[in-house]
């Protein structure tokens, strides 16, 4: 191993405790995706996790972080739980989502990164929340997306990485934003991709690692770029893939981890390669898979974490590591990859047995660890919500109307076609259409409603089961993010969302328990 300069040793110490798990967005076929392989392995700081085809979660590496109830180091895989569909590990904590959408966490918890309201170390999984579809563990903070697209965060917040506008630690999950498709938590920052493909960032920005052209921390989200399908936050650098398969990177670059052939840091995205389908940013290095299944690596290589058989100090341009790769995860100084045949390979630093080959010898080349690792992740079972009939009186322009409406999670939801039917002919009328080919609901403002039959029909007494509507929603040709539910085959929308979209008044009289819809005035937030 080459001797490091004093400057490089100083910068390295700054990142010594950072670990980066990458969590990635679904890549559409237009960029040559290798299937739906994602979230089934995670290389942490001193441990590794893998989900097998039967849903069993396995772990190995430094003790206390594995979730097996002990502080004992494991140099070979040990089973942690069943029914797992997604896993993410940070510096000393980890989280897993089960098939029912429940989120579980364990490990180091000094800053509340587990999210159970304490700062107690947990050696076994504890349940945190339900209805979760994606989770990302940063160094000491955590982000999770619920089935309604809402983003929640908790843990260490010294640089504003939680995104709640403060720099105070959070022990319980707090809501940050809506309409989020994917999230990646890094050292002291966070990146989120919204459903429209826009990339947002917040938190630490000392090396330009947010990509906003500045080097100032952000306590709240700031927009970085558009048309993004995947993002991965490393220690002090970040990488993202656009819809066209182009890979972009930015941030700290002393070890060539950006991959542009230089060691010059960049506070704005730089294009690195084309035909990328997955990327994972590690502590000071990066791994990426191309559409042909080839795996490429660049950046710091102290422990052989690039997997190219040597320990040269750095590679500032991508070098090819293997073929037939389906998914890769970069940890602090070790990495793991799953091939298309389901075999798991690992390499790099192995001080705590995190490679999983039964030894503590560093591995400069990929070593085969186990087989039958899941490539296709099952989606969480649809969250089922209780819909209680709305007991309030509803007035439309002063006249009582008997809607089939329900209260879900504290909000009133009305059948979309019923609202359009009743408001047709008013100044706030709108039409409702269905695009079966694209699984999309289309709304057109100012157009009289076209009846299809069954409007204003009653759904029967008693509570109903509701599941979130997954169809896309377009208003006048523009995709919008609304929380909607399907109840017995009909779509129900939050009344205030519709009121805001078509600009009609929605008021609540608590004393009279009356909801008033007024098309003669504009919408004001309640």
pLDDT (tens digit, 9 = 90+) per residue, 281-316?
999 999 999 999 999 999 999 999 999 999 877 899
Domain stop point among 310, 342, 370: 370
Confidence band (pLDDT; 50, 70, 90) for 195?
confident
Among 327, 346, 370, give the residue marking a domain's end. 370
**pLDDT > 90? residue 52:** yes
User: For residue 419, which phi and psi values (nearest 5 degrees)?
Assistant: -60, -45
Q: 454 and 310: one domain?
A: no
| Greater model confidence, 147 or 274 | 274
Same domain assignment for residues 167 and 233: yes
Q: At 217, is the secondary structure helix, strand, or coil?
A: coil
- Residue 119 sits in a domain whose CATH number is 2.130.10.30
- Please state the domain count of the chain: 2
Residues 342-372 as b/e (b if ≥16 CB within 10 A, e otherwise) read bbbbbbbbbbbbbbbbeeeebbbebbebbee
Say yes or no: 162 and 300 in one domain.
yes
List the beta bridge partners of residue 171: none
Give all strands (DSSP E) within 44-101, no chain letters: 47-51, 57-61, 74-81, 84-89, 93-98
In a domain, 502, yes or no: yes
**pLDDT tens digits for range 79-103:** 999 999 999 999 999 999 999 889 9
What's the mean pLDDT in 111-137? 96
Q: Which residue did the predictor score with more confidence, 447 or 2?
A: 447
Residue 307 near residue 323 (C-beta atoms within 8 A)? no
In this structure, the answer to whether residues 91 and 131 fall within a common structural domain is: yes
16 closest CA partner among 138, 139, 115:
139
Same domain, 289 and 361: yes
| Residue numbers of the domain that contains 161 | 6-370
Domain boundary among 335, 370, 405: 370
What phi and psi values does residue 499 have, to the nearest 5 degrees?
-60, -40
Q: What number is the average pLDDT over the span 346-359?
A: 97
Q: Is 299 part of a structural domain of the chain?
A: yes
pLDDT of residue 385: 83
The mean pLDDT value of the chain amounts to 89
Domain-located, residue 226: yes
Instruction: Kindly state whether residues 329 and 440 are assigned to the same domain.
Output: no
pLDDT at 479: 86
**Span 32-51, mean pLDDT?**
73
Residues 31 and 169 in one domain: yes
Mark whether 345 and 391 lie in a shared domain.
Answer: no
Query: Residue 380: its pLDDT value, please?
Result: 60
Residue 355 CA to residue 347 CA, distance in Å, equals 6
Which tokens sit at 245?
A: 């398969």
467 lies in the same domain as 351: no
pLDDT in tens, 410-464: 889 999 999 999 999 999 999 999 988 888 899 999 999 999 988 998 877 789 9
Neighbours of 379 (CB within 10 A): 14
Greater confidence (5 vs 356) lies with: 356
Structure confidence at residue 438 (pLDDT): 82
The reply to whether 268 and 412 lie within a common domain is no
**In a domain? residue 376:** no
Regarding whether 388 and 423 lie in a shared domain, the answer is yes
**Domain assignment of residue 526, yes or no:** no
Tokens read off for 519: 């098309």
- Candidates 163, 33, 142, 147; CA nearest to 88 is 142
Higher-pLDDT residue of 195, 55: 55
């Amino acid at each position: 191993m080459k001797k490091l300069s004093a400057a490089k040793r100083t910068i390295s110490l700054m990142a010594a405790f950072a670990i980066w798990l990458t969590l990635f967005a679904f890549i559409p076929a237009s960029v040559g995706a290798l299937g739906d392989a994602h979230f089934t392995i995670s290389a942490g700081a001193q441990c590794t996790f893998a989900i097998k085809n039967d849903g069993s979660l396995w772990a190995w590496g430094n003790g206390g972080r594995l979730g097996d109830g002990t502080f004992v180091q494991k140099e070979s895989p040990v089973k942690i739980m069943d029914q797992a569909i997604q896993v993410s590990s940070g510096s000393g904590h980890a989280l897993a989502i089960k098939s029912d959408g429940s989120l579980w966490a364990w490990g180091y918890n000094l800053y509340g990164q587990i999210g159970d309201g304490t700062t107690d170390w947990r050696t076994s999984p504890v349940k945190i929340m339900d209805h979760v579809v994606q989770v990302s563990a940063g160094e000491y903070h955590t982000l999770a997306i619920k089935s309604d697209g809402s983003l929640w965060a908790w843990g260490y917040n010294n640089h504003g990485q939680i995104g709640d506008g403060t720099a105070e630690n959070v022990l319980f999950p707090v809501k940050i934003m809506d309409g989020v498709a994917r999230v990646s938590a890094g050292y002291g920052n966070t990146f989120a991709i919204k459903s429209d493909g826009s990339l947002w960032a917040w938190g630490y920005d000392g090396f330009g690692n947010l990509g906003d052209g500045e080097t100032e921390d952000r306590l709240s989200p700031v927009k970085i770029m558009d048309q993004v399908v995947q993002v991965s936050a490393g220690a002090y650098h970040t990488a993202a893939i656009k819809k066209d398969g182009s890979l972009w990177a930015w941030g700290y670059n002393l070890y060539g981890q950006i991959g542009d052939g230089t060691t010059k840091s960049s506070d704005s995205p730089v294009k690195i390669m084309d035909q990328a389908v997955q990327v994972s940013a590690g502590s000071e290095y990066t791994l990426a898979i191309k559409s042909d299944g080839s795996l490429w690596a660049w950046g710091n290589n102290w422990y052989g974490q690039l997997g190219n058989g040597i320990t040269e100090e750095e590679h500032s341009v991508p070098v090819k590591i293997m073929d037939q790769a389906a998914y890769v995860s970069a940890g602090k100084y070790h990495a793991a990859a799953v091939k298309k045949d389901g075999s798991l390979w690992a390499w790099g630093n192995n001080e705590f047995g995190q490679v999983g080959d039964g030894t503590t010898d560093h591995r400069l080349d990929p070593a085969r660890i186990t087989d039958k690792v899941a490539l296709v992740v099952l989606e969480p079972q649809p969250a089922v919500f209780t819909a209680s009939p709305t007991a309030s009186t509803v007035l439309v322009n002063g006249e009582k109307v008997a809607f089939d409406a329900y209260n879900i999670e504290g909000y009133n939801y009305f059948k979309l076609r019923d609202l359009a039917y009743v408001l047709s002919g008013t100044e706030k009328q709108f039409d409702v259409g269905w695009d079966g080919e694209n699984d999309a609901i289309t709304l057109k403002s100012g157009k009289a409603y076209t009846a299809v039959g069954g409007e204003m029909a009653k759904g029967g007494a008693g509570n109903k089961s509701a599941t979130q509507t997954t169809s896309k929603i377009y208003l006048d040709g523009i995709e919008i993010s609304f929380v909607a539910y399907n109840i017995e085959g009909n779509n129900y929308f939050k009344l205030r969302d519709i009121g805001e979209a078509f600009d009609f008044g929605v008021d609540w009289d608590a004393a009279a328990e009356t909801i008033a819809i007024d098309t003669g005035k504009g919408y004001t937030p309640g």
